[in-house]
Structure 1
Amino acid sequence: MSDLEIFDRIESEVRGYIRSFPVVFDSAHGATLVTSDGREYLDFFAGAGVLNYGHNNPLFTQALIDYLQRDGIIHGLDMATSAKRAFLEAFEALILKPRGLDYKVQFTGPTGANAVEAALKVARQATGRSNVVAFTNGFHGLSLGALAATGNKKYREAAGSPLDNVTRLPYDGYLGADVDTLDLFEKMLDDSGSGLDLPAAVIVEAVQGEGGINVASSSWLQRLRAITSARGILLILDDIQAGVGRTGAFFSFEESGIVPDIVTVSKSISASGLPMAIVLMRREVDVWKPGAHTGTFRGNNLAFVTARVALDEYWADTRFTDEIARKSELLKNALLEIAAANPTIGFEVRGRGLIYGIASTSHPDLAGAVSAAAFERGLVIETSGARDEVLKFLPSLTITDAELQRGLDIVRESLAAVLAA
């Protein structure tokens, strides 16, 4: 009997990653995954951005053990608990105040899509308008409201329902490096014949992860912020995958200097892989009435415990971000070398911090083939983009130099094997 027999027989056909990585994982530590039969795999996937601090970080494991052994509250809805208080105090002191951000914090259901749904709802309530502008190749989740703002055809076709009240516009670089796509947005806003109703909000990622590691320039984000501010349009920054240190700073938008009206955060905010999602919003935007948006698991106190420990350990000074910046240079330079060594493929290297991609628009199937070959050699690495044409590098932020180099060596070997075949 196959190790995967029970999954094939009982689990829904919707399962995805198990098809790319068809083994049974049993344990993990740091940047290493271990199967039930003892095989080790280096992890360049990090739970799609959930495990920025690595698997089973001992700091978080011990904090959880201590909390459980003292019978700490596990499920608290939105009641006050000591674990939530400690997280809020640390988040305010170490993240919000040093950045001059005066945000209210909303705890939503535990996924990024829950946070996006809440952000869209409160933006529409605060403005009294319904239309939202989203961008090509954006990914914001797969519940209906979030899916309406998501660009990928595969996901949109699965909706089974109309996806309304969202206008799609081209992201930075979508029409080439020489075209500022915000010219179109501004023209449509100012032209009463464009058919674009004044939006309640614009939702955008500073770095599109699932969309293909597309990076918006600081100047583009600054202009977008100026356009929305001048017209009373709320700017929602989706930082679910690119946040919590992934691009180097805690928030992906910090490099641009903009201040969004609303920020969605999930994935690595709990630090430990436990479900948690939050919405940050300017005080004037917080127009919710008590209980108007709820979620049974918005009070995951185990996630609050590990999130607070991560803030205290990694964000009290610049040591962690300095290390991310150093490793980012190692990763970027290695990918540029791979691209230069294969000029006929026409590789493009994209990214920032420790979220990078290497893609060939002329060979869109290459990324998937390299991912499969890398898995055979002991590396878990996924693809992204509308055609899965981007090989996506998403290692934990705590990965060692030796592990990073080993993973890059496997990618080189895998690429050579695929091209030879």
Structure 2
Amino acid sequence: MLPTSDKTDMSVFEKVESEVRSYCRSFPTVFEKARGYKLWDQEGREFIDFFAGAGALNYGHNDPGMKEKLIEYLSSDGIVHSLDMATTAKADFLKKFKEIILEPRGLDYKVMFPGPTGTNTVESALKLARKVTGRDTVISFTRAFHGMTLGSLSVTGNAFKRKGAGIPLTNAVSLPYDQYDGKVDSLTLLERYLEDKGSGVDLPAAVILETVQGEGGINVASSEWLKQVEQICRRQGVLLIVDDVQAGCGRTGTFFSFEPAGLQPDIVCLSKSLGGYGVPFAITLIRPDLDTWAPGEHNGTFRGHNLAFVAATEALRYWETDEFAQEIRRKGEKTRTALEDITAKFPDLKGEVRGRGLMLGIEFPEEGFAEKVCEEAFKRGLIMETSGPDSEVAKLLPPLIIDDEGLDKGLAILEKSIEAAA
């Protein structure tokens, strides 16, 4: 028998939920309430959130404006499920997204609604690239993470995640990411693979990349490297796909993470914080001449979720001016400086600060140390996770709306947690 009381016992998850559960092992408490950059468990303990739903809550928990719009929409019997039928909520989103995001950046894309998650948009991008080019190989990069379904896993670098597929993952070639080990010239390698008919690699349909690898360990590609990858793709007639699922929607300081490099990707994948409120939502942005889909050729029951349209449209208000982006960059610089000061206090740990905007982390060479830091942080009221192939990076993804007080408190807890772990 499971215990019955007003408070939820953790045993219900142990006895009923699958062993695949993950985050509830890292944060062993029952959360009950959240607002802004804070969460509370059922015991009333307060936590500062430096996790933000793995990047799905850039605008924080329960944003008041989005909440009001969602309640208003539901109260008026607004349609919730509509597959890809035309609705007023979808029209509002499309108009606002074009007006606020695409046009000011000089970007011309058709908007596709795949299934509602990051891996869904990546799958649609891979399928379209292969359909358009008639080629099947896709080039990805070391330490990449693109999703958990078979196509996305084939271009993901993590050995543990790939093994879970249970079958060979084919039609993909992985090359070294920028600054992989300081020795490999990945650009020359990429170019030679594509130009040399004896390379053993067929001309690919596409190259897929993240400008900042989140799950791969907060690895930042330089603008120079990104530009040259784009140029190589253009010369060879290969499509460039940018996976902006985690790094997009302002996380790195601009709405799209590739803006500082001046890229014009052929296809862009967006999800996570696109839904604004934490509502599942994904889109695939397609260069218009590549939009060769036949009606229904790629579909899904929950593509174009109307509650996501409502919340996402309201979230776009943050991007009507440059003020929000400027604040992200300011807070990112403030946080990076604080992290560098913290690592300087513990020189024996040889911590290395990584990242851009408010997508930051500290790599610790000692095996298991970053995990200890996150465990100590949880004890002290800070939620954060690790990333990297060996969980070697203590990763910071605070909501972009966090104020300086919240940042200072969270960073102070982080410093104490590093001291305790050491």
Question: Please, what TM-score do these two structures have when normalized by structure 2?
Answer: 0.97
Partner of 1:78: 84
Deviation at 1:33, TM superposition (A): 0.8
Paired position in structure 1 for 2:71: 65
Which residue of structure 1 aligns with residue 417 of structure 2? 414
C-alpha displacement of 1:175: 2.5
User: What SS is found at the alignment partner of 1:322?
Assistant: helix
Matched, 1:378 2:381: yes
1:263 to 252, 268, 274: 268
Q: Does 1:276 align with 2:281?
A: yes
The one of 306, 318, 321 aligned to 2:311? 306
What corresponds to 2:293 in structure 1?
288
Equivalent residue of 1:351, what SS?
strand
* 1:14-413 to 2 correspondences below 5 Å: 14-176=20-182, 179-311=184-316, 313-361=317-365, 363-413=366-416
- Alpha-carbon deviation of 1:364? 2.9
Give secondary structure in 2 for the equivalent of 1:41: strand
CA distance in 1, matches of 2:181, 2:381: 38
Q: Distance in 2 between matches of 1:314 and 1:400?
A: 15
Give the C-alpha shift of residue 36 in structure 1.
Answer: 1.5
Cα offset, 1:38, TM superposition = 1.3
Moved over 6 A (4+): none
Equivalent-residue separation in structure 2 for 1:271 and 1:350 (angstroms): 26
CA distance, structure 1, for counterparts of residue 16 and residue 314 of structure 2: 38
For residues 26 and 187 of structure 1, the distance between their equivalents in structure 2, rounded to whole angstroms, comes to 54
SS of residue paired to 1:374: helix
Contact 2:114–2:121 (CA<8 Å) still a contact in 1? yes
| Separation in 2, partners of 1:54, 1:132 | 35
CA distance in 2, matches of 1:364, 1:406: 27
Question: Unpaired segments of 5 or more residues in structure 2?
Answer: none
Structure-2 separation of matches of 1:408 and 1:364: 22
> What is the CA–CA distance in structure 1 between the aligned matches of 2:360 and 2:53, rounded to whole Å?
15
SS at match of 2:269: strand
2: CA distance, partners of 1:385 / 1:278: 26
Contact 1:368 1:389 in 2 (8 A): yes
CA contact (8 A) 1:247 1:355 kept: yes
Q: Does the 8 Å CA contact 1:213/1:356 hold for their aligned counterparts? A: yes
- C-alpha separation between the residues in 1 aligned to 2:26 and 2:251? 24
Displacement after TM superposition at 1:247 (Å): 0.3
In structure 2, how many angstroms separate the alpha carbons of the residues matched to 1:383 and 1:364? Answer: 12
C-alpha RMSD of the superposition: 0.9
Contact 2:116 2:302 in 1 (8 A): yes
For 1:393, give the aligned amino acid. L
Instruction: Say how many residue pairs are matched.
Output: 416
| Deviation string, structure 1 residues 73-104 (Cα, Å, up to 9, x no partner) | 10111011000000000000000000111100
Does the residue aligned with 2:406 lie in a helix, a strand or coil? Answer: helix
Any idea what the Cα deviations from partners look like across 1:208-251, whole Å, max 9, x if unmatched? 00000000000000000000011110000000000000000000
Conservation of the 8 A alpha-carbon contact between 1:111 and 1:275: yes
CA shift at 1:367, angstroms? 0.5
What is the alpha-carbon distance in structure 1 between the residues aligned to residue 363 and residue 201 of structure 2? 33
Shift of 1:299: 2.0
Aligned mates of 1:296, 1:265 — CA distance in 2: 18
Q: Give SS of 1:255's match.
A: helix
Deviations 1:101-139 (A, max 9, x none): 110000010100000000000000000000000100000
Cα pair 1:359 1:390 within 8 Å, conserved: yes
Query: How far is 1:360 from its partner?
Result: 1.9
CA shift digits 1:38-59 (9 cap, x unpaired) = 1111100000000000000001
Contact 2:371–2:394 under 8 Å retained in 1: yes
Which whole-Å CA distance do the structure 2 matches of 1:124 and 1:20 have between them?
Answer: 39
1:414 Cα deviation after fit: 0.7
By how many angstroms is 1:291 displaced?
Answer: 0.4
Q: Structure 1: how far apart are the matches of 2:311 and 2:370?
A: 35
Q: Percent identity?
A: 56
Find the residue that maps to 2:309 and give its secondary structure.
Answer: helix
Residues 176 and 184 in structure 2, CA contact (< 8 A), matched pair in contact too: no
Give the deviation of 1:344 after TM superposition.
1.6
Deviation of the 1:179 alpha carbon: 4.4
Q: TM-score when scaled to structure 1?
A: 0.98
User: Could you tell me which amino acid in structure 1 is paired with residue 353 of structure 2?
Assistant: V
Q: Secondary structure at the match of 2:279?
A: coil
What is the distance in 1 between the residues matched to 2:131 and 2:376?
49
- Asked if the contact 1:175–1:181 (Cα under 8 Å) also holds between the matched residues in 2, the reply is no
